[in-house]
Amino acid sequence: MSTHDLPTTTDDPPDDGALAAVVHGVEEVAEPVVDAVREAAETVVEVTGQAVETTARVAEVAETHAVVSTGARLGFLLDGLLHVAMGWAGLQLVWIGHSRSTADESGALTAIATTLGGRAVLWVGFVGFTVVTVWNLARAVTGRHCHTGLKRLEHAADGIAYATVAWAAAAFAIGAGQTSRDSTVGITRTLLALPGGVLLVAVAGLAVAAVGAFSIWSGVTRDFLLDLARTPGRVLVAVGVVGFVGRGVAFGIVGLLFGIAARTHDVSASTGIDGALHYLQAAPAGRWALAVVSLGLVAFGVYLMTRARHLRR
């Protein structure tokens, strides 16, 4: 049989016209979808840009407004008094082994609430702390007088912290306040009950310790002077250094207590500033360390009063 007798098979060539029609049809269907997605993305970008711009303008107005500045001065003054009270409670632990109130902001707020007209003072404090919250968050947004991104982060963290103090002042004003010790224990218990709770508590401890480390850094480098309109003098600068370092040590111990709670699953180990001072009291040579940290808290309170007077607008 010759090769000419063998049957031959050939594949039919693709129908280019049908393929082109399919591609064209897909393009016709997809084009409106693509255009709609593109328009939506452009709208989102435009709206986001407008929101950021509006937020920046509002933040700038809030930060520089005379009413806000006055309220911020009031808030810093009251917080200074709270820290002096905290330090005084710590010094009582040194001198007589116990204090009349817990050595934290809740103890000071409780003492105010029990005095004549104390609840009215707490409502004034609520307003002042709320304004300081707005002022700090506004400065974090605008970056005004912030030489680094870390400074903006500090203002954001301070804003959150003052929001919690404002909330506590309102709670004590209506008679529903909770001690910082109980609050911290409750937070720790809640975190430990969550999936990965041990890690969450450990991270919380690291975050608090980081705040303490930054406070020490601010004191040693005198970075806190950037928040003042002018240098208040050598004595008050030295007071500020001692205050920031003492506050940083206290926060460092609070972070350590969170770590102990994470390791031992003992929620009672994490007890805030008051617990940190009692922890120092029980340590070797603890009375001396407690005295130094307590004086540091008093010094930090004096710095806050100085900041209220020399607030940098």
The reported pLDDT for the residue numbered 197 is: 84
**What contacts 24+ positions apart, CB below 8 Å, involve 10-15?**
none
What's the predicted TM-score (pTM) here? 0.75
3-state secondary structure of 108: helix
The reported pLDDT for the residue numbered 61 is: 59
Residue 47 lies in a domain: no
Query: Can you tell me which residue has the tokens 């409670």?
Result: 89
Residue 234 lies in a domain: yes
Total number of domains in the chain: 1
Residue 10 lies in a domain: no
Query: Can you tell me which residue has the tokens 């090769």?
Result: 3
| Cα–Cα distance measured from residue 293 to residue 282, given in angstroms and rounded to the nearest whole number | 14
Residue 58 lies in a domain: no
Residue 101 lies in a domain: yes
Residue 283 lies in a domain: yes
Residue 55 lies in a domain: no
Pair of tokens at residue 82: 């709270």
Domain interval for residue 177:
65-309
| Cα–Cα distance measured from residue 165 to residue 247, given in angstroms and rounded to the nearest whole number | 16
The reported pLDDT for the residue numbered 280 is: 82
The reported pLDDT for the residue numbered 65 is: 66
Please, is 50 exposed, middle or buried when counting C-beta atoms within 10 Å of its C-beta (0-12, 13-18, 19+)? exposed
The reported pLDDT for the residue numbered 33 is: 62
Residue 29 lies in a domain: no
Mean pLDDT by 10-residue block, N- to C-terminus, for the chain (313 residues)?
Answer: 50 58 62 66 56 52 68 88 88 78 74 80 89 86 78 86 88 78 80 86 90 92 86 88 93 89 83 81 81 92 89 72
The reported pLDDT for the residue numbered 51 is: 47
